[in-house]
Amino acid sequence: MTVSYEAADGVAVLTLDRPGKLNAVTTAMSERLFGLIDQIGTNDEVRAVVLTGAGPRSFCVGSDVGEVDAYPDPWQFRNRRDYCDALRALRKPVIAAVNGYAYGGGLELALSCDIRLASTTASFAAAEIKLGWIGGGGISALLAASVPASDAALLLLTGDPVDAAEALRIGLVSRLYAPDSLVAAARSLALTIASRPPVAAQAAKANLLAARSMGLEQAIQYEREMQAICMGTRDAAEGRSAFAEKRPPKFTGH
């Protein structure tokens, strides 16, 4: 199986499972990701997602370069279904647990997640320029939204990797963990997010995406509308009741 899936306690874990090829993504893996993400999106039991790679060496090194020549021309390559698009289409919060190389499309996958955690042995590179092209899964826009402009340019124009400590310094990742505790830490964080009211969590994610693409006043107005939607849910009423009664809330997603 090229992408494994498990779910428990409101958390789904997606694992790119091709460690012998550093979890390079094939067309079949991409299609499976689309299917799994569609499944997660319609499963109300899943409230948060962790994405990681199998094995200790690599999170993902992007598309399997050996498959690129299978496209008859660049236009067909341009029109393929991109696995990063699948991940960004998910309304639910996603945490990347980057356990090794995040190169090329692997870096784009990590950037397509809402939160990025990494092992101390992780490294990151926009490596496509070394092969004669640039990334097409959102790398420029996502880097520009995540790290300072000079660091984004450094990554894109050299293709050289940065280590985990440097990724933390520039804000590419939020936390570093020992390799053997990374996935557990990511799952623990996902459990915390899964315990929050799902509508509010998805609204918060939507607001962050809006803040990237809208002007300030439009983004604030969008946030206000999303707040009104959240305030009308039974979970919001439950939150107020639990606060008044000094007890833990029980959120149902309604």
- Owning domain of residue 142: 3-194
Tens-place pLDDT, residues 98-144: 999 999 999 999 999 999 999 999 999 999 999 898 888 899 999 99
Q: Residue 55 and residue 201: Cα distance in Å, rounded?
A: 30
State the Cα–Cα distance between residues 3 and 5, nearest whole angstrom.
Answer: 7
Q: Write out pLDDT tens, residues 180-228.
A: 999 999 999 999 999 999 999 999 999 999 998 899 999 999 999 999 9
> Using 50, 70 and 90 to split pLDDT, how confident is the model at 253?
confident
CATH number at residue 85: 3.90.226.10
DSSP state of 206: H
Residue 251, domain member (yes or no): no
Q: Which residue of the set 45, 108, 225, 245 is catalytic?
A: 108
- Give the pLDDT score at 163: 98
- Is residue 27 located within the same domain as residue 119? yes
In this model, does residue 74 exceed pLDDT 70?
Answer: yes
* 128 labelled catalytic: yes
The encoded tokens of residue 2 equal 């090229």
The answer on 204 and 190 residing in a single domain is: no
Residue 68 and residue 155 in one domain: yes
Residue 166 annotated to the active site: no
Domain count, the chain: 2
Please check whether residue 253 lies inside any domain of the structure: no
Average pLDDT over residues 68-87: 80
Read off the pLDDT of residues 57-66 as tens digits, 9 standing for 90 and up. Answer: 999 998 887 7
**Of 155, 175, 194, which residue is a domain's last?**
194
Per-chain mean pLDDT for the chain: 93
188 occurs within a structural domain: yes
| Residue 164: Cβ within 10 Å count | 21
- Is there a single domain that holds both residue 235 and residue 179? no
The answer on 237 and 142 residing in a single domain is no
Instruction: Give the per-residue pLDDT at 1.
Output: 66
The answer to whether residue 254 sits within a structural domain is: no
pLDDT at position 123: 98
Which candidate in 31, 45, 67, 128 is catalytic? 128
Strands (E), 91-201: 94-98, 101-103, 115-119, 123-125, 162-163, 175-177
The model's pTM is 0.93
82 and 96 fall within a common domain:
yes
Three-class SS of 167-195: HHHHCCCCEEECHHHHHHHHHHHHHHHHC
